[in-house]
Amino acid sequence: MKRREFIHNFSHALAASTMLPHLNYLDASKKYSLLENTVSPGKILIMVRLDGGNDGLNMITPMDQYANLNKVRPDVIIPEKKLIQLGKNDLAFHPEFKDMKVLFDEKRMKIIQNVGYASPDFSHFRSSDIWQSASDFSEFVSSGWLGRMLEHDHPEFPGAYPNNKFPDPLAIELGYSNSLMLTGKSTFPGFIAGNPENINQILNEFDNTYPSTYAGDKLNYIQTIAKQSNLYSSVVKDAYLKGNHAVQFPNGDLGGQFYQMSRLIRGGLNTRIYHASMGGFDTHDAQVNQDDHAQGTHANLLKKVNDSIIALMKCLDETGDSDRIMLVTFSEFGRRIASRSSGGTDHGTAFPMMIFGNNLNANVLGKNPKIDPKITWEDNLEAEFDFRQIYASVIEQWLGGDNATLKDVLNKTYNQVGLTKEFADDDMDGVLDKEDKCLNTPIGAMVDTNGCEVFSLASDAFSVLATSASCIGQKNGAISISSNNKNFSYSISIGNVSAGVLNKANNFSQKIENLAVGTYSISIRVDGNTSYERKYEIKIGEPQALNAIASIDSLTGSLKINLKGAENYYINLNGLRTETVDSRINLPLQKGLNTLRITTDKDCQGAYNQEIFLSEETTIFPNPTSGPVQLFIHGSDAKAEITVNSVNGITSYQSTHTIPFSRTVDLDLSSLPAGIYMVKINGATVRSTSKLIKY
């Protein structure tokens, strides 16, 4: 067995921390960026895992997407009238988050939307490892980000700990096993406190000298573990007993862990990091009650989260310790957008993280997720923030880490987000408030390094499009330019040549015509502002060939034409000219022969020509017949040629008949042998072929 495995197994057995092989003492000259000491009170980080994959869309609902959510997750969505509106970002809380609304209004709660990672894994175990180790989906890391951070700032741990400067545990896990998050590369710096009130010495004190052998090394570990565990157990139990209070916490794992935590903090324990967890969030089925979606398994879970957090905040408010905490919730993933007919949701991707504390930059971070009403069960929310951006922000902004810490802990550089008041950016212009000389710039405004607005226009202020291609050797291309910002007048140039303006006179729209095939550099300047210029590269290409499909609508006797390839179409039907920009058009046909020709503005696109014959209807009766038949011919033709052919193509009868006023032509086929014949009738407006049976 390897040393690290031996320590790990032994730590589980003793529910205590494990040791490094070297047992040197603390270097008093070293500066600790994370933990200055555990003698005096300091900042506290509380990591809370919502195990199983929490449904963020029902916990914090984007109300601007509610109609689409109602379509794609009808089996679980909370009734709109029961949601708790936040009044910001069109968000609403689950009905069981009534106390979270209080913290949100007091600016003691921060919401970060759409947190996840690239190429998400849908396995509970794998995704949990990714979140706790802060690794990429393709990496397999056996240490956690908080464990690595503690090791980075305390390389002498555990051999020299506890000591006069660090008498209290660096981190505490409330439960009966250590998490990957607090597992270091070589140590387990988290002290496991299953029930602080019942902690006793796990081994009698002993102080033996062991030989420098493999077995002696292991015995040395055990002895060091016992000493450290006994010392930590004593200070933890003392703090727990001193921190007794009357605040009521909810029953259950999270409420119990928070109760223990509150007593340790109030009792004077100066541990800086706590880890708590709560399971049950894997709600594939029965996530909600079918008769009331505001109730059910998920509602019960969120109520416990709500009640536990508010109880902890109230308890620590009494002593002022709530100013020192930052509480961060996370899960291994969210749930799918679409619901299941069983009243649940499957494993998903991104979800909102919640952060609590009295020193937060409490603005909502991130955009509301966009919900497509046509999604399938496979579709998921896209991550706007990588979860390691949040970790990096916690390390530097709350725990005092520096660039070296971030590099050693997270291995990569991640853009941070403003979590604390010190890193607040209330006008969200990218300049921290403490360095911002213009604190109320409009949302979306472009600013300089001082946070003051500089002249800018929205990215979609202009539309510049090639609206017409050009034939080779000709100049019939065009570029259309318009602006939706009508507060200014604009000048347009192609290269260095003036090409037009955008102003009220032309309704801020300009078409530049007579352009040959090529690429054009378009510049737009704001009149009266010499520093602003917007540039576009627009290509004029050759037009595609004219594409037209014409068919007869048998119900209306009209011509249906589908067109593609041009802006304007010129249709000549039987000498009548029609101009249209539509890609579909219906035109009336005349009985008999119709001639169709379609052209465009550009000769190089070609022309479409077709002849269409629309025949009058004819009827033959009786059919079958023994000989005599009558042919009824609609319309106004005076004459028609009648031909009778056998099925093998031999003409049995052919003659031109005058059509009487009754429109009925009598024909005697008694001389023809029994069989099947084809009767053709051709006239100016008639072309028909009918099958006739002679018996």
Domain with residue 597: its CATH number is 2.60.40
Please tell me the distance from the alpha carbon of residue 680 to that of residue 148, in angstroms, as a whole number.
93
Please report whether residue 394 resides in a domain. no
467 burial via Cβ count (<10 Å: 0-12, 13-18, 19+): middle
Please tell me the distance from the alpha carbon of residue 73 to that of residue 227, in angstroms, as a whole number.
55
Please tell me the distance from the alpha carbon of residue 287 to that of residue 342, in angstroms, as a whole number.
9
Supply φ then ψ for residue 309, to 5 degrees. -70, -45
Q: Please tell me the predicted confidence (pLDDT) of residue 19.
A: 30
Taking CA atoms, 693 is separated from 122, 621, 648, in Å, by 70, 11, 14
DSSP letter string over 14-58? HTS----S--PPP-TT---SS-S-SSS---EEEEEEETT---HHH
Please report whether residue 94 resides in a domain. yes
Q: Within this chain, do residues 518 and 572 fall inside the same structural domain, yes or no?
A: no
Beta-strand relationship, 547-553 and 533-540: unpaired
Q: Within this chain, do residues 504 and 628 fall inside the same structural domain, yes or no?
A: no
Please tell me the distance from the alpha carbon of residue 126 to that of residue 172, in angstroms, as a whole number.
24
Please report whether residue 396 resides in a domain. no
Please tell me the distance from the alpha carbon of residue 84 to that of residue 101, in angstroms, as a whole number.
8
Q: Please tell me the predicted confidence (pLDDT) of residue 20.
A: 27
How many domains, in total, are found in the chain? Answer: 4
Q: Within this chain, do residues 515 and 483 fall inside the same structural domain, yes or no?
A: yes
> Which residue do the tokens 């011509």 mark?
559
Q: Please tell me the predicted confidence (pLDDT) of residue 14.
A: 35
Q: Within this chain, do residues 600 and 639 fall inside the same structural domain, yes or no?
A: no
Please report whether residue 430 resides in a domain. no
Please give the structure tokens belonging to residue 641. Answer: 């040629």
Low-confidence ranges of the chain (pLDDT < 70): 1-35, 197-210, 215-230
Please tell me the distance from the alpha carbon of residue 398 to that of residue 396, in angstroms, as a whole number.
6
Length of the chain: 695
First-to-last alpha carbon distance for the chain, in angstroms, is 102
Residue 325 DSSP class: E
CB 288 within 8 A of CB 79: no
Please report whether residue 273 resides in a domain. yes
Q: Within this chain, do residues 600 and 652 fall inside the same structural domain, yes or no?
A: no
Domain with residue 652: its CATH number is 2.60.40.3080
Q: Where would I find the H helices in 275-366?
A: 297-319
Please tell me the distance from the alpha carbon of residue 483 to that of residue 369, in angstroms, as a whole number.
29
Please give the structure tokens belonging to residue 59. Answer: 């916990």
CB 643 within 8 A of CB 690: no
Domain with residue 41: its CATH number is 3.40.720
Q: What angle do CA 527, 533, 539 make, to 5 degrees?
A: 115
Please tell me the distance from the alpha carbon of residue 649 to that of residue 640, in angstroms, as a whole number.
20
Supply φ then ψ for residue 6, to 5 degrees. -60, -45
Q: How many CB atoms lie within 10 A of CB 304?
A: 19
Q: Please tell me the predicted confidence (pLDDT) of residue 222.
A: 62
CB 101 within 8 A of CB 86: yes
| Last residue in a domain, options 344, 360, 381 | 381
Q: Please tell me the predicted confidence (pLDDT) of residue 190.
A: 83
Supply φ then ψ for residue 563, to 5 degrees. -125, 150
Please tell me the distance from the alpha carbon of residue 334 to that of residue 343, in angstroms, as a whole number.
16
CB 270 within 8 A of CB 38: yes
| Last residue in a domain, options 540, 571, 587 | 540
Whether the model clears a pTM of 0.75, i.e. scores above it, the answer is no
Q: Identify the sign of the CA torsion 211, 216, 221, 222.
A: negative
Give residue 346's identity as a one-letter amino acid code: D
Please report whether residue 452 resides in a domain. no
CB 375 within 8 A of CB 72: yes
Taking CA atoms, 562 is separated from 17, 163, 552, 568, 582, in Å, by 77, 86, 12, 13, 9
Domain with residue 498: its CATH number is 2.60.40.10
Q: Within this chain, do residues 152 and 259 fall inside the same structural domain, yes or no?
A: yes
Please give the structure tokens belonging to residue 79. Answer: 């009734």
Coil, helix or strand for 396? helix
Q: Within this chain, do residues 685 and 596 fall inside the same structural domain, yes or no?
A: no
Q: Within this chain, do residues 315 and 175 fall inside the same structural domain, yes or no?
A: yes
Q: Could you list the residue range(s) of the whole structural domain that residue 95 is in?
A: 3-381
Of 160, 150, 225, 226, nearest in space to 190 by CA: 150
Count of CA atoms in the C-beta half-sphere (13 A) of 307: 18
Q: Within this chain, do residues 574 and 652 fall inside the same structural domain, yes or no?
A: no
Q: Within this chain, do residues 491 and 634 fall inside the same structural domain, yes or no?
A: no
Query: Angle 214-242/3-14 helices, nearest 10 degrees?
Result: 30
According to the 3-state scheme, what is the secondary structure of 429-442?
CCCCHHHCCCCCCC
Please give the structure tokens belonging to residue 160. Answer: 């020299």
| Last residue in a domain, options 614, 639, 663 | 614
Q: Phi-psi category of 462—alpha, beta or left, where left has phi over 0 and alpha has psi -120 to 50? A: beta
Please tell me the distance from the alpha carbon of residue 161 to that of residue 232, in angstroms, as a whole number.
10
Residue partners of 551: CB distance under 8 A and separation at least 6: 559, 560
Please give the structure tokens belonging to residue 483. Answer: 């602006």
Please report whether residue 421 resides in a domain. no
Supply φ then ψ for residue 539, to 5 degrees. -105, 130
Q: Please tell me the predicted confidence (pLDDT) of residue 192.
A: 83
Q: Please tell me the predicted confidence (pLDDT) of residue 219.
A: 61
Q: Within this chain, do residues 238 and 358 fall inside the same structural domain, yes or no?
A: yes
> Which residue do the tokens 């310790």 mark?
321
Please tell me the distance from the alpha carbon of residue 604 to that of residue 474, in angstroms, as a whole number.
10
Q: What angle do CA 501, 507, 509 make, to 5 degrees?
A: 55
Please report whether residue 156 resides in a domain. yes
Taking CA atoms, 163 is separated from 27, 37, 392, 608, 648, in Å, by 11, 10, 29, 93, 112
Helix (H) or strand (E) holding 652: strand 651-658
Q: Within this chain, do residues 567 and 668 fall inside the same structural domain, yes or no?
A: no
Helix (H) or strand (E) holding 265: helix 253-266
According to the 3-state scheme, what is the secondary structure of 122-140?
CCHHHHHHHHHHCCCCCCC
Provide the β-strand partners of residue 183. Answer: none
